[in-house]
Every structure is written in structure tokens, then in C-alpha cells.
Chains A and B, each alone.
Chain A
Amino acid sequence: MPLIASITLRQCVVFACAAALPLATLAAEVKVGLLGNLTGRAAASFGIPFKNGFELALADIAKSGVLTPTKTTIEVQTLDTNSEVTKAVTAFNQFAQQRLPIIVSDSQSPIGQAVAPLANDAKITFLSGAGSQLENKGGFAFRLADLKSSASGVGKHLIAKGAKRIAAIVATDNPSFPTLAAATLEGTGVSYVTTQNVTTKDTNFSAVITNLKSANIDALVLSVLPEQAGNIIQQMMGAGMQNVQLAGTLAISPQTFTIAGKAASGLVFPQAWAPGGGRSTAFEAAYRQKYNAVPTAYSGVGYHVAWMIAAAALEVEQAGKPINGDTLRAAMPAASTGALLKKHGILEIALNASGDSVSPGTLARFADNGDMVGAGN
């Protein structure tokens, strides 16, 4: 009896001391799981630029000291999905076993759609670069890509340039692409004269291009993977279709220009972000210096998302709550439009509680040297 009493007394002393400690002396570590498409078809266009931007942001966050008052640190663990759904789900499960509170996926609607229900079940906040609607019963999944706001600008641009017979090539096995294609002409009163459906694995477009020629089109919307867009443009030039106005979607990346070369220099496409100074000057310079490459839209999104996570973590910590999937989920919408993002972020992504985003984006094109510039430049 005396032993039990002394143990109980000792425990009370320990608890009392712990309770007396100010919150600021306790450090919080936010472990972020990154499902990176670092190899495979999505690597060059999406996965690698996103990861580069994300890591650059983590370095900037540490340097800026914004998390110092709460002694919060952000640590990222990256697993390569090989641009495959099965590997992404396996990677998610590994992160879930480690009880990570937040997981990020750079792109690929099929991956987002596979992981989102799992994230909701495991109560892990999930930020996905997917364009398609995600199953989101618990509200834990957030979709970073706003397909509609920026896509409609492309349709208006084509019509303003005199396009009368607009066609589309759509990779229908990725649910984002039909959505993007439809959003491009939404509200314009114009519909496609022909829509050629392909798959994301297609590489030979000779038959499709012949179909387009016979439809006598003067503009074409490419709602396909960026490498496919490059291939199509190249094959179109070989088929004598140089005078067709070309437009793309949010999926377009520098890979398109790498394949098609100068034939892609007239291509207009919406982007969440494009290089061109303003509030992203420092980011562009730092990115070029570190990676010896021009940042792409996905680099910008990766950078901005890291800051978004920092902002959400800071809000949770300042509210005196523990950092977990639930608290980060609740904090994310406000964090996405808060003061920290306005100061350190480089684009506009407003998340809402239902998991959707509003992001006006910008209209971009390829310059003759392949750099992405604003379409007005």
C-alpha cells in the first residue's frame, strides 16, 4: 500500500510539472507524406517539378522562421509511385501505418480517386493534384486543380482569334481530360465539330489526324497527356495541318515542346501558374539556381502547397490543438487564403471545406525557345 501510494504521488508530481510547462517549449513535427510520380509517364511533366518546388518551399519556410514561435518543423517523406495507381495505394498504406497526418499527391486523377477514400477512412488530410472529383465523405480530401475556372479562358481565346470549327482530342481513360475538354468551351455557346477519343497509352494518331482533316477544322483542343500533345502536334505538321490553331489544357507541360519543338510555339493553354515575375520572382530565381531549370506550373503548385501546409500547421498550433489529420483538415481552407499564403505563396488556390478549389490561373503559351510565358507576352 505505501508503494502504490508513493507511485501515485510520484506520478502526480510528474503530471503537475508537465502541465506547468508552457506550450511553446514543446516542438511539433509535421510529417508530410509525398506520393511523388518520380518515375513513369507523369514524372517529367508533373512529379519531379512538383517535388522540386515543394522541397524549395520547405527550405524557404525553415529560413523564414515563420514556424519558430511554435517550434513547428515540417518533415517530408517521399515515396515514388512510378505513376501507377497500385504503387500509389501501397505507398499511401505505408504512410498511413506511420500515422502521418497529411499526404500530398502531385497529379493523376486515377491516383487521387484511388487514394481519397482511403484518406477519408484513415482520417488523413489528403492534398491531391488530381483534376477530377474525389470521393470525400469525411472531408479529408482536397483537390488542388480547378479545371473549370482557367479552362474556359482558352475557349474564349480561340473564338476571339476567329476559330469557327473547333475539334478536340480527348484521352477518355483519365477522367480529368473529358472534364477539361468540356470546360474549355463551356459558356461560349460553341460546341466541338468533332471529338476524337483516344487513351493515355496511344502513340499513333495518324487515323485520328486524318479524321480531323476531313472535318476541316481550324482549331484543336488537346485534352491529353503533355507528351501525347507533343506527338499529335508533330504528326499534324507531317500531315500538313500547320494552319490549325492549337490549344491545350492544364496538363500541358514543357514536355510538349520538347517533343513538338517550334511547332508547339503557338499552343495556348491554361496554367495554375506561369513564370513571369511579380510575386514569384524570388521563387523563379531560386528554382533556376538550385535545379538549373525553368520552373513549370507544377513547380509553382508544389511550392505553394508546402506553404499551405505550413500555414495550416501554424493555425493548428496557435489554437493549442494537436496536429493530426482532423485538425489539419479543419484548418486547411482558412489557411489557403490566409495572411501567410498571401505573403509567401505565389498563386491563388482557395480550398473550401468540401474539398474543391478555386484557382483562376493564367493563360500561357510557349515562346520560341520553349519557355512558358503569359499568352499576352
Chain B
Amino acid sequence: MEFWAQQTLNGLVLGSVYGLYGLGFGLVLANLKIFHVAHAAVFTWGAVFAWLLTARLGLPLWLALPVVALLSGLLNVLAYYIVVRHLLRRRHTQLAAFISSLGALMVLNELAAKVLGGMVERIPREAYPVHALHLGPLQFNTLDVTIVVLTALLMLLLGWLLHHTEWGREARAVAFNRDVAALLGTHVDQVSVGVFFLSGALGGVSATLVAMAFNVISSDLGDTYLVIAIAAMVVGGFGSVTGVLLGGLLIGLASTYAVAYIESSYRDLVVFVLLLLFLVVRPSGLLKTSNDLERV
């Protein structure tokens, strides 16, 4: 029982990061119906920003994190303007935007490799000292707590933003029907900019947490987790904020249990079997999105 509880705790921590990453990705997908794969590069750059701020400038993590969120958000907005915006009125928008975003992914990854000097870097331990904690037989640490609490707070903040603000109402309207929203006076372009900013900020924060937890910052960091993020979206439900988080938690648990009860090499197989199962049996995901309430 103790073993299962410990592995469950491990899975929930891991799943929180997956959910946060998947959420940023899902925001853009739900709002613009485009597969913005360059989000993986924005994720990577979030970790790179965190490294530059902590290792090069010596900032503590708590100070660096909001700056990372800001920089990642702005980077994603830049990506919107350069890579996506001009394609929105074309035929085959989704395919064109996907290909354009793929190009941006490659360019941003190469730039990240140049900044990192082709090396694998890490955030210095001093930026956020981690202390071991225990609750009965369960072992965890202050970073685990930070990940879970921060994820929960960001989810609540996002939920409030989407459901209790004017901007959120407009964002949901644009997600439902962009053209109609425009006709009704919504500044759809500004809403999309806001969505991209939020998406980038979430990606940057989750990347920083990944970099801290797993001690790795490399130019392909985002690529490694992109497929997991997509799986979290599919399992949780396209366009559902709560669903993506639940999907991430479920993926985190599945991959942890795979390592715990089978072995690590089966981890990806288990995750993809779960993904396929949902696509076949429940393609709407864990939480169905009602058209006018839940969709971003």
C-alpha cells in the first residue's frame, strides 16, 4: 500500500507538469484550431530563459519565474505575428499554419542550441534549494510541493480569467466561432494575441519546473514532452481546461505506474496505448466540452 501511495504521489507531481504544458498547447488549438507545434520550442525557450536568468544573472528562481513567464509569453506572441497571423485568411489555414509553425519550431530549436552552445545545461541548485519532506511513509520534497501548488494556482487563475472576465468571455466566443465573434464586435486579433501570450507563459513556467525537477535544459527539451502534452489533451478532452489537467495527471500516473510495475522502457508504450484507447473508445476525452461553456 505504501509503495502504491508513493508511486501515486510521484505520478501526480509528474502529471502536474504534463498538464501545465498540455494546457498551453491546448489553448491555442482550441482558440485558433491550429496545431502550433512551435509551442514545443517556446517551452524549450522558457527553460533557456530560466537558465539565463538563474545561472548567468544569478537570480533566485522565485524572481526568475515571472520574468520567464513574461518572456515566453512575448516569444509566443512574436510567433503568432510572424508564423500564424498572416495565414488565417488563407485556404487550408490549418495545414498552412501547421507547416509554418513547424518551420518556426526548427528555427527556434536551432537558436536555442546556439545559445546553449550545443551543451546540456541545468539551473543551479542554489537558485531554489530543495529540502526533503515526508508525510508518514511518503517521501517528497519542497520542489514537488511547488510544482503541484503552482499548477493548481495557475489552473484556478486561468479558470477565473476565462469564466469571470470580459476577456475570457471574448476568448470563449472566438473559440466557438471566430467570424461571428468578429461580426459581433470582438477584437479577435487581440484575443488571439492574448491566448498566445497565455499559452507561452504557461509553457515557460512548466518548462522551468521541468528543468528544475529533472536537471536538464537542452535544445530538444520541448520536443521530448510535446507528444506527452498532446496525449494529455486527447485524454483530457480537446478544449477543456480542466480536462487537460486531468489528462496530464492521468498520463503522469500511467507512466509512473508503468515504470513501477513493469519497467521504464514500457513507459511510452503504456502512454500511447492509453491515448489510442481514448481515441477509439472516448474520443471526446475525459471531459466533454459543451460548446458555449467549457471550450476556451
Chain A residues within CB distance 8 Å of chain B: 38-41, 43-44, 80, 82, 172-173, 196-199, 201-204, 206-208, 210-211, 213-214, 227, 230-231, 234, 237-240, 259, 261
Interface status of B177 (Cβ within 8 A of chain A): no
Interface status of B85 (Cβ within 8 A of chain A): no
User: Shortest Cβ distance from B15 into chain A, in angstroms?
Assistant: 11
Name the residue in B139, B140, B264, B265 with the highest tally of chain A Cβ atoms < 10 Å from its Cβ: B264
Interface status of B67 (Cβ within 8 A of chain A): no
Interface status of B218 (Cβ within 8 A of chain A): yes
Per the 8 Å Cβ criterion, residues 125-164 of B in contact with A are: 125, 130, 132, 134, 139-141
- Contacting pair B224 A199 (CB below 8 A): no
Name the residue in A198, A204, A238 with the highest tally of chain B Cβ atoms < 10 Å from its Cβ: A204
- Contacting pair A210 B260 (CB below 8 A): yes
Contacts of A214 in B (CB 8 A): 3
- Contacting pair B259 A237 (CB below 8 A): no
Q: Which of B10, B118, B134 contacts A207 (CB 8 A)?
A: B10
Contacts of B117 in A (CB 8 A): 39
Contacts of A43 in B (CB 8 A): 118-120
Per the 8 Å Cβ criterion, residues 4-53 of B in contact with A are: 6-7, 10-11, 13-14
Interface status of B113 (Cβ within 8 A of chain A): yes
Contacts of B132 in A (CB 8 A): 237-240
In addition to A44-B119, A202-B264, 6 A-B residue pairs with Cβ atoms within 8 Å of each other are A204-B14, A207-B7, A207-B259, A214-B3, A238-B132, A239-B139
- Contacting pair B141 A227 (CB below 8 A): no
Interface status of B216 (Cβ within 8 A of chain A): yes
Known: A39-B117, A82-B118, A211-B260. A204 touches B139 (CB 8 A): no
Q: 11 A–B contact pairs at CB < 8 A? A: A197-B264, A198-B264, A202-B264, A206-B14, A207-B10, A207-B257, A208-B264, A210-B10, A234-B215, A238-B141, A239-B132
Name the residue in A41, A210, A211 with the highest tally of chain B Cβ atoms < 10 Å from its Cβ: A210
- Contacting pair A238 B139 (CB below 8 A): yes
A96 to B13: give the CA distance in the assembly, Å: 50
- Contacting pair A196 B263 (CB below 8 A): yes
- Contacting pair A39 B264 (CB below 8 A): no
Contacts of B224 in A (CB 8 A): 201
- Contacting pair B113 A39 (CB below 8 A): yes
- Contacting pair A261 B125 (CB below 8 A): yes
- Contacting pair A210 B7 (CB below 8 A): yes
Contacts of A238 in B (CB 8 A): 130, 132, 139-141
Contacts of A261 in B (CB 8 A): 125
With both beta carbons as reference points, the residue of chain B lying nearest to A231 in the complex is identified as: B215
A39 to B14: give the CA distance in the assembly, Å: 29
- Contacting pair A230 B215 (CB below 8 A): yes
With both beta carbons as reference points, the residue of chain B lying nearest to A43 in the complex is identified as: B119
Chain B residues within CB distance 8 Å of chain A: 3, 6-7, 10-11, 13-14, 113, 117-120, 122, 125, 130, 132, 134, 139-141, 213-216, 218, 224, 256-257, 259-260, 263-265
Contacts of B134 in A (CB 8 A): 240
With both beta carbons as reference points, the residue of chain A lying nearest to B221 in the complex is identified as: A203
Contacts of A39 in B (CB 8 A): 113, 117-119
The 7 closest A-B CB pairs, nearest first, are A39-B118, A203-B214, A207-B259, A206-B10, A198-B264, A238-B141, A207-B256
- Contacting pair B263 A227 (CB below 8 A): no
Name the residue in B7, B13, B215, B260 with the highest tally of chain A Cβ atoms < 10 Å from its Cβ: B215
Contacts of A203 in B (CB 8 A): 214-216
A259 to B217: give the CA distance in the assembly, Å: 13
With both beta carbons as reference points, the residue of chain B lying nearest to A261 in the complex is identified as: B125
User: Shortest Cβ distance from A273 into chain B, in angstroms?
Assistant: 24
Contacts of A197 in B (CB 8 A): 263-265
Contacts of A213 in B (CB 8 A): 6, 139
User: Shortest Cβ distance from B251 into chain A, in angstroms?
Assistant: 13
A40 to B263: give the CA distance in the assembly, Å: 27
Q: Which of B113, B119, B256 contacts A206 (CB 8 A)?
A: B256
Contacts of B256 in A (CB 8 A): 206-207
Contacts of B120 in A (CB 8 A): 40-41, 43-44, 227
A237 to B263: give the CA distance in the assembly, Å: 22
A284 to B278: give the CA distance in the assembly, Å: 59
User: Shortest Cβ distance from A181 into chain B, in angstroms?
Assistant: 14
A170 to B198: give the CA distance in the assembly, Å: 40
Contacts of B122 in A (CB 8 A): 259
Contacts of A240 in B (CB 8 A): 132, 134, 139
User: Shortest Cβ distance from B147 into chain A, in angstroms?
Assistant: 11
User: Shortest Cβ distance from A244 into chain B, in angstroms?
Assistant: 14
With both beta carbons as reference points, the residue of chain A lying nearest to B11 in the complex is identified as: A207
Name the residue in B11, B14, B130, B216 with the highest tally of chain A Cβ atoms < 10 Å from its Cβ: B216
- Contacting pair A40 B264 (CB below 8 A): no
Contacts of B119 in A (CB 8 A): 39-40, 43-44
A43 to B218: give the CA distance in the assembly, Å: 12
Known: A214-B3, A239-B139. A204 touches B213 (CB 8 A): yes
Q: Which of B13, B113, B264 contacts A196 (CB 8 A)?
A: B264
A210 to B137: give the CA distance in the assembly, Å: 12
Contacts of A80 in B (CB 8 A): 118
With both beta carbons as reference points, the residue of chain A lying nearest to B133 in the complex is identified as: A238
With both beta carbons as reference points, the residue of chain B lying nearest to A242 in the complex is identified as: B132
Contacts of A173 in B (CB 8 A): 265
Contacts of A231 in B (CB 8 A): 214-216
A259 to B122: give the CA distance in the assembly, Å: 8
Q: Which of B118, B216, B264 contacts A199 (CB 8 A)?
A: B264
A237 to B256: give the CA distance in the assembly, Å: 19
User: Shortest Cβ distance from A40 into chain B, in angstroms?
Assistant: 6
Contacts of B215 in A (CB 8 A): 203, 227, 230-231, 234, 259
- Contacting pair A206 B13 (CB below 8 A): yes
Contacts of B257 in A (CB 8 A): 207
- Contacting pair B265 A207 (CB below 8 A): no
A207 to B139: give the CA distance in the assembly, Å: 12
User: Shortest Cβ distance from A274 into chain B, in angstroms?
Assistant: 24
Contacts of A82 in B (CB 8 A): 118
Q: Which of B125, B140, B141, B214 contacts A204 (CB 8 A)?
A: B214
